[in-house]
Structure 1
Amino acid sequence: MVGEIEAAGELATGALIGRAVEPSTGEGHGGGHMCLNCGTALIGPHCHRCGQSGHVHRSLGAIGHEILHGVAHFEGKLWRTLPLLAWRPGELTRRYVEGERARFVSPMALFLFSIFAMFAVFSWAGLSAPSDIKVGGPAKQLELARQGMAEERAELIEKRDKRAVGDPKRRQAEEKLAELDRAIADLPTMKKVGATNEGFQATTRLSGWAPLDHGIEKWNKNPSLMLYKLQSSIYKFSWLLIPLSLPFMWLLFAWRREYHLYDHTVFVTYSIGFMSLLMIALTLASSVGVTSGTIALASMGIPFIHITRQLKQAYALRWLSAIVRAIFLSFFILIVLLIFLLLLLALGMTG
């Protein structure tokens, strides 16, 4: 029940935040005679000088009206945007870039709404970081590491003794043995501060960089908490995917001077919005019993088809050119996701 309440709250928040950044062009109310903000004579539903609406509410009930009005207009645009986003994403991208914006949800508003909605559905479906990861104490972990190294050392000694003196393979075994001995010597030292296993405290010497070593210790002590923080970071810093993707989009069209970074930004933002909505659909499909094989096939095939269509339509490409670029872009996406996760891990471990 708590998860469902949280999911509903996040979904409503996403709609309101999406609406907050959504331009209200073409959505005027009836106006008055003078703008109450700057005093300019009104010639339409909005002031042509400062942009304020000519119709201003001054009652407590108007707060709820404004919320419902804003969300309703956002949803109205959403239902005009989603069909194009699903089947003709490149056309939606091109029409928005070229100035047709009042009819559609803006890329950033759709991005915010879809991210909030995705995590709301994840919360409802119970998809979250595990909270019961069990790990041994530092002494136990260190003992397991020592045992593994001891077994590897015994194997190296056996291999070395089977070779005659001067044999290149014997020399290789001796070099590996010396390297392993150095690694054993560099293992964390242990200080006994109590009688139990947890009473041993490790002095970590992994990288020599105190913030990183401290982060590794935090992961070892409470991996469940660190996974929860990582999940929260994905939620909060998902916008980083947009700037991280732009250099790779530029590489795909570096010689096409008619396309600019703004075009690529709209492309990437709409694309991420669609992928988030696709994750929602797949999660809901899984919850109603769709087989895992079907979910896996859809999760691999639909994104590639969508990216191909969006590239073809947005950049006026031939099918072959769009498919080739989609293949490269798929690899770029994996790189972007890896960089994104590494940044979040660095933030979590050093923060």
Structure 2
Amino acid sequence: MTGADLEAAAADSMKSFVRRKPKAFTDQGKPCANCGAPLEGWWCHVCGQNADNHRRSILHLTWEAIEGMFHLDGRLAQTLPLLFFKPGVLAKDLMEGRIMRHAPPFRTFLVALLLFIFAAEHAIHTVQHNLEHAWEERAERMKTPEGRKSEAERLRTQANVAKTEALKALAKSRDEAIRDKDATPAKAQADYAQAERLVLQQYDRAIARAQKIETDPEAAVKSAEESGSMGKAAADQVRALDIEATGAKAVEGGHAKGDSAIDPAWFQAQIAKALENPEYYFTVMFGWAHRLAVLLLPILGLSLTLVYVNRRQFYVYDHLLVATNLLSFAFLTNALGLVLPWSVGKYWFLLLMFWTPVNLYQTLRGGYGSTVIGAVFKSGVVWFVSVTAFTTLLLALMFFTLSQL
């Protein structure tokens, strides 16, 4: 028996674990409910309708829905091991037309993307739950004099750092405005004085709040509860940013505003909003993420087209098939890392930093038949283009989400 025969036998045996065994057909000769033709099997040979009466239990219908959505049959059991460990073999099969033995690549891609989105949402909710627990503990500590004193000292230190940074930024903007030949030094100095006054007012309020927390138990507990409802671990960063954002907004005219296409005051204010409610921010971001993730498919497909432009036997369609497999691997492995406990997940993501480029190399080496040196070089090019595109999309998505808050 050859190795191919053994693989085929193993694949057939795996089907029994994920696929129902067909029932014997007992309605030979009965008319088709759709066209009336005599039935010879479970599918009408004239119109193609299933001869089954489709009467199912709720449990059976649930299984059929899952099976239809994820296509849980022997092809998936044969495709997944290749996707993870022999991606070159899988890519070669698809490009050479051996498609029916594997799960449809685009369906696998969509399911992998869906699982990744679910895993990411699970990770967000887990982080949010941990933050809630941490702030509940903080509220308990604020009920003791030692806890209130420690919290007040931390807030004072934070306010001092924020004030120093804000005044330093304002002084730099003032000096640049004075050096500008089109600017009026007197106006620049007046803008600086106004901004400095606002920063100091914010600082005084922060110090007063710290003092009240230290001396008033009710105010301390209330502050902790309010901070927790605002976004848990983000409330203090919001207040620290508030000092800088207020100062920057006060000098938004003239040279200070013209230096950048993005208003620093607006940007810091949007950051503060995101920190106030990180769960909402990530919900909005992931609402767009699954749409933008589809863009990675043509980007990766075009990068493969670029590095294999001299291989005329491969078409853009072939490159897109390979791209779906590469992205399916990335989504599935990262989804697993997101649902693992962080104590294990951090090592998993460390492994993926090496496994992902190796998977890409194996795909190009086996699927396209590249030499070792050629596969290494082309993997580097595709990896650089993909990571750059992913980073650009992620930054654009984060900025876009800020504008939606």
TM tier, smaller: 0.5 to 0.7
2:393 corresponds, among 337, 340, 344, to 340
Pair 1:53 & 2:108 matched: no
**CA separation of 1:183 and 1:346: change in aligned 2, threshold 3 A:** farther
**CA separation of 1:63 and 1:349: change in aligned 2, threshold 3 A:** same
Q: What amino acid does structure 2 have at the position aligned with 1:218?
A: Q
Q: Deviations over 1:73-109 (max 9, x none)?
A: 5153322111111222122123234333333222222
**CA separation of 1:235 and 1:128: change in aligned 2, threshold 3 A:** farther
Q: What amino acid does structure 2 have at the position aligned with 1:279?
A: N
| TM-score calculated relative to the size of structure 1 | 0.64
Report the secondary structure of 2:294's partner residue: helix
5+ long unaligned stretches in structure 2: 1-18, 136-154, 207-238
Q: Distance in 2 between matches of 1:329 and 1:105?
A: 25
| TM-score calculated relative to the size of structure 2 | 0.56
Pair 1:253 & 2:308 matched: yes
Between structures 1 and 2, the one with greater helix share: 2
**CA-CA distance at 1:271 after TM superposition:** 0.8
**CA-CA distance at 1:281 after TM superposition:** 4.7
- Written as runs of structure 1 = structure 2, the 5 A alignment for 1:114-263 is 114-122=112-120, 146-150=166-170, 152=172, 217-223=269-275, 224=278, 225-235=280-290, 237-263=292-318
5+ long unaligned stretches in structure 1: 1-23, 158-172
**CA-CA distance at 1:256 after TM superposition:** 1.9
2:102 corresponds, among 97, 101, 104, to 104
Q: What amino acid does structure 2 have at the position aligned with 1:251?
A: L
Q: Which residue of 1 aligns with 2:332?
A: 277
Q: Distance in 1 between matches of 2:107 and 2:314?
A: 23
Structure possessing the higher radius of gyration over alpha carbons: 2
Same amino acid, percent of matched pairs: 20
Give me the CA root mean square deviation: 5.1
Contact 1:146 1:184 in 2 (8 A): no
Q: Distance in 1 between matches of 2:109 and 2:193?
A: 46
**CA separation of 1:321 and 1:151: change in aligned 2, threshold 3 A:** same
Q: Which residue of 1 aligns with 2:379?
A: 326
Contact 1:118 1:280 in 2 (8 A): yes
Q: Which residue of 2 aligns with 1:310?
A: 363
Contact 2:337 2:349 in 1 (8 A): no
Q: Which residue of 2 aligns with 1:81?
A: 79
**CA-CA distance at 1:35 after TM superposition:** 5.4
Query: Relative to structure 2, which stretch is displaced further, 324-333 or 77-86?
Result: 77-86
**CA separation of 1:222 and 1:120: change in aligned 2, threshold 3 A:** closer
Contact 1:282 1:295 in 2 (8 A): yes
**CA separation of 1:44 and 1:238: change in aligned 2, threshold 3 A:** farther
Q: Distance in 1 between matches of 2:23 and 2:190?
A: 73
Query: Relative to structure 2, which stretch is displaced further, 91-100 or 269-278?
Result: 91-100
